[in-house]
Amino acid sequence: MKTLRMYPTSINDRFLDEVVECLTSGGIIIYPTDTLYALGCDALNNGAIERLCKLRGVNPQKQTLSVICADISMASEYARIDNEAFRVLRRNLPGPFTFILPASTSLPKVFKGRKEVGIRVPGNEIATAIAERLGHPILSASVKIDDEVHEFNPQELIEAFEGKAQLLIDDGSEASMPQASTVVDLTDSHSPEIIREGKGELL
């Protein structure tokens, strides 16, 4: 697995192009967010989505899939966001939240039959820059290694996913006992419901 060292405060354009090339060719990447490291693939590539779901042990027919977007404008192309939902998103994004919203018809066939999609716009410039350069969302699933592993550092990620992911983006951070995002059900925008407490505090 190739490793690229890239910092949120100084994003390497050449590396960013390499990441996007990997994604558009159907590859799986490991990249930092504002919560956990995540596995990611092109959210419009059905084959890559199926491989990522299998790797992560996710059943796309039963579990809500989440995507990383560059901003709320991109999110609005793939989820139905009414005025009230938009106000909630604007108050809390970018940030460590996953908002469950009604899915639009722009998502690929693996999403068909799914009425909801998880939307993330993380407060991590690397993650949002990848989505912006790609031009559409990244399908995202937080990394899980082993219940006994508490240090999420690049070397452990390489050892755990060698031969399974093609590229690791190392932003220099090492998270001990990291927190996942706060998950908010926003399908009824007038009654947001926190369904998993995580790093973020909803405003």
Q: What is the 3-state secondary structure (H, E, C) of 156-202?
A: HHHHHHECCECEEEECCCCEECCCCCEEEECCCCCCCEEEECCCCCC
Cβ atoms within 10 Å of 57's Cβ, excluding its own? 9
For residue 83, give the CATH number of its domain: 3.90.870.10
> Stretch 119-136: mean pLDDT, rounded?
96
- Predicted confidence at residue 185, as pLDDT, reads 98
| Within-domain flag for 163 | no
Question: 148 pLDDT band (50/70/90 cuts)?
Answer: very low
Phi-psi region of 135 (alpha: psi -120 to 50; beta: other; left: phi over 0): left
Q: Is residue 16 situated within a structural domain?
A: yes
3 has a pLDDT exceeding 50? yes
| pTM over 0.95, yes/no | no
Residue 134 resides in a domain: yes
In this structure, is residue 161 part of a structural domain? no
Asked if 1 and 139 count as a contact pair (C-beta separation under 8 A), the reply is no
Confidence of residue 147 (pLDDT cuts 50, 70, 90): very low
203 lies in a domain? no
pLDDT greater at residue 191 or residue 175: 191
**How many domains is the chain built from?**
1
Provide the domain limits for residue 24. Answer: 2-144+176-196
State residue 89's pLDDT score: 98
Would you say residue 84 lies in a domain?
yes
Mean pLDDT of 150-170: 84
Q: Tokens standing for 154?
A: 């690049």
- On the question of pLDDT at 54 being above 50, the answer is yes
